Structure 1
């Protein structure tokens, strides 16, 4: 990947490992209209939780960044909770999947799915 870590319109950084995994998953879908969407929703044991998925819709006020052909989309309501966050992808014995390191999270639950 030629993309390096950088600041973005969304305020979120996507690491090269996350870009590579998202690209591989998207190529398996066989569609070119999907973007990686990150959203914050009420729920989880700490009050808020992340939702990360491939989405084919966009609102007029969504924030969008492109990383080597992968569009990262964040809605305006979620953006204040995610500024400065980094999305990475881990594939090791102790961690597997997308991870979100969010400096705005003052506390997280043991499962890592929700934050406050």
Structure 2
């Protein structure tokens, strides 16, 4: 069992249906602190693109879009637009910082497959 699985972040409300591991939550908090702004939220979206048709996007955003679903964590929020919610419900975001893997990853039970390079899914 990894440290990510042992200590889950405090999630107070989750209408977006996305989970974060403890490692991912710590990294998001650290990145938000680096930005030095308290108006930013982590936006997770699915956009057309890549060899398999759909691509994930993760970025900090201050905007509020009509139909956004906002999940509240201890110290920050995760936002998903209404078009991306069906693709992301049940997904878990993790963060790895190892020699064999680095960055955010998304484990998505809704993805039926991905391209060989792992950049997109369908």
Fold conserved between structures, TM > 0.5: yes
Q: CA RMSD in A?
A: 1.8
Summarize the alignment of residues 67-106 of structure 1 with structure 2, pairs less than 5 Å apart. 67-106=73-112
Deviations 1:76-96 (A, max 9, x none): 000001111000100111110
User: Pairwise mapping of residues 1-116 of structure 1 onto structure 2 (< 5 A)?
Assistant: 3=9, 8-116=14-122
SS at match of 2:105: strand
TM-score by length of 1: 0.92
Aligned partners of 2:97 and 2:12: how far apart in 1?
22
Q: In 2, Cα distance between the equivalents of 1:6 and 1:68?
A: 7
Displacement over 6 Å in runs of 4+? none
Q: Is the 8 A contact 2:17 2:71 kept in 1?
A: no
Most deviating of 19-28 and 104-113 = 104-113
User: SS where residue 70 of structure 2 aligns?
Assistant: strand
Residue ranges of structure 1 left out of the alignment (5+ in a row): none
- Provide the C-alpha distance between the structure 2 equivalents of 1:97 and 1:57, rounded to a whole number of angstroms: 24
Deviation (angstroms), 1:70? 1.6
After superposition, the C-alpha distances for 1:65-108 in whole angstroms (9 at most, x for unaligned) are: 11111200000000001111000100111110000000110001
